[in-house]
A and B are shown apart, each in its own frame.
Chain A
Amino acid sequence: MISTLHQKLVEKELSCVELTNLYLEAAQRDNAALNAYVTLTPDTALAAARATDERLARGESLGLLDGIPMTLKDNISTKGIETTCSSRMLQGYRPIYDAAVWEALQAQGSVLLGKTNMDEFAMGSSSETSVFGGSKNPHSLGHVAGGSSGGAASAVAGHLAAFGLGSDTGGSIRQPASFCGIVGLKPTYGAVSRYGLIAYASSLDQIGPLTFTVEDAAAVFDAISGRDERDSTCSGAKEATLPGLKRDIRGLRIGVAKEYFEGIKGDVRTAMEKAMETYRALGAQIEEFSLPSLRYALPVYYILACAEASSNLGRYDGIRYGYKTSSSYESIHEMVCKTRSEGFGKEVKRRILLGTYVLSSGYYDAYYKKAQNLRGKIVEEMRAAFASYDILLAPTVPMTSFPLNFTGQDPVETYLTDICTVPVNIAGLPGISLPCGFDSQNLPIGLQLIGAPFAEAKLLNAAYAYEQAADMYRPAPFGVQFEGGARA
């Protein structure tokens, strides 16, 4: 997709301003149905597009991402452009600096169309905890786009942008990519700078691309990864992924941990079996093995994520930025309590309370400390697997997209749907979701591949080989449609 648009620009089939206007018009028209964007940024987009056109007019050679229309999730800071985390708490907040990933894309000449919808503070699996309401699935408007990067997935799958950046703390890039039938890459912890990403759970958060193709994901990953002194956890990617993307994968060793397949049935199981057949036909070796500690991954994730969230979200006090209560108050404590209670939604409050619970004296050892010990064990087991296997294969989500308003009734039932995505975050590994079929309702199914730390090149190479062999992409009927389709 990106290289097709790049070709169109270089060959002057259309100008970047014309291309940008096509996307802006489509976004204005179709956002009513999809609710993918929370803010459109036509002025920023057209200024960048004009700059691209000037470079072309001067005969400069264009980088791959130069002039490509894209989106940022609304928890990625954009100087002077409202960044809300889809929360009442940050409505009207305009960051005074750019996130490192946005700096990197601006340096490449990318065109920001707008900011995308998300679950409030990235807490949710359907984007329905957003103060702006949920994003819809372009393959079925009666279903959610997923979450928390639901708007990014909806915008890309709905052809309202060529690619988007999201963030993934427990599956928030991979799950919506799976639900919307596109590619979503969660990079290795430490591969991409999080400077300017509004924090949810700092030991788990990572920024990554949502794209139409694996090649697009590789191009965007290569552009945004790298060392950044402003994020002390960021050591940068070890190697570029594009050069080795199309290598033959004969002899690739794929591990299938049986714990990932417990309770996987129906169309999702069939799609997984077919994907394994495709890999065998490509010359890969597939072997089943066991990751016994995986059964604790989900409670470990929720304990740690909520503990970190309760601390990270302590900064919202109504004083320096964000929402402030308009009711009367008799003390600073009362002002802060009212501000936070009115500014945060239900799920955010629930997670702050849970985090406070597991960190409070008397419960710290039983929950937080025990979860950290178990995290160590999960990390150990998963890393050891890469002595025997190049990549691991699993479903991204045990099911396809939820009907609207399905989540939120029972928090634990909703949390359980993250079972296949959280282990990657716990162990800091790179993971990718790519389309591997459709269920009987024509909803997309996602295949998850997991790599060793900083082995994005190998991971994307394996994903590319499958994508080319299986060809599972289907366009959704929205947005900007080019001849040859988004996968051209």
Chain B
Amino acid sequence: MVTPEEIRQLALLAKLEISEEEIEPLARQMEKIIAFADTINSADVGDTGFDTINGLENVFRADEVLPSLPQEEILKNAESTADGCFVVRKRGAAR
């Protein structure tokens, strides 16, 4: 059972705003998806874990300083910047 209260809590954790009209249908859909996910609970599997695909190992590079992206490039896609930094305002007016 997925309750509207759970949806509200999940939305808070996921930083999503869900309107009151959306909550009820979403709870029903989530319930159906969770029921589908629950089919794995009939599987008999030990705590084998899973930590590698195809026995892959991390590919490391030498620990050398390489050029990084220029600051002005990094800031290019931001809505607001000042003095080479991203601006994060505590409050905002409607635009």
Contacts and interface: CB of A to CB of B under 8 A. Distances in A.
Contacts of A358: 37
B56 A233 contact: yes
A349 B16 contact: yes
Contacts of B45: 370, 373-374, 376-377
Q: Which applies to chain B's interface (DSSP): helix, strand, loop or mixed?
A: loop
Contacts of B40: 296, 299-300, 303, 367, 370-371, 374
Given A93-B77, A324-B79, A232 B59 contact: yes
Contacts of A354: 30, 33-34, 37
Interface string B25-38: 01001101110111
Contact of B41 (A320, A328, A370, A410): A370
A302 B30 CA distance: 12
Interface string A336-365: 111011001000011011101110100000
B57 to A, nearest CB: 8
B10 A360 contact: yes
B44 to A, nearest CB: 10
Contact of A374 (B10, B32, B43, B78): B43
B88 interface: yes
A15 interface: no
B37 A299 contact: yes
A322 B77 contact: yes
A340 B15 CA distance: 7
Interface residues of A, number: 77
Contacts of B15: 314, 317, 333, 336-337, 340
Given A96-B73, A96-B76, A229-B59, A190 B47 contact: no
30 contacts: A188-B54, A189-B54, A189-B56, A233-B56, A235-B57, A293-B43, A302-B37, A303-B40, A310-B14, A318-B79, A319-B78, A326-B95, A329-B91, A332-B88, A335-B89, A337-B16, A338-B17, A341-B16, A341-B17, A349-B16, A352-B14, A353-B10, A353-B30, A356-B14, A357-B6, A360-B10, A373-B48, A379-B53, A383-B54, A415-B33
Given A349-B16, A350-B30, A373-B45, 20 more contacts: A188-B54, A228-B59, A231-B59, A232-B60, A322-B77, A325-B92, A328-B92, A328-B93, A330-B91, A335-B92, A338-B17, A341-B16, A341-B18, A353-B11, A353-B30, A367-B37, A372-B50, A373-B47, A374-B43, A377-B48
- Closest 3 CB pairs between A and B? A321-B77, A428-B53, A376-B50
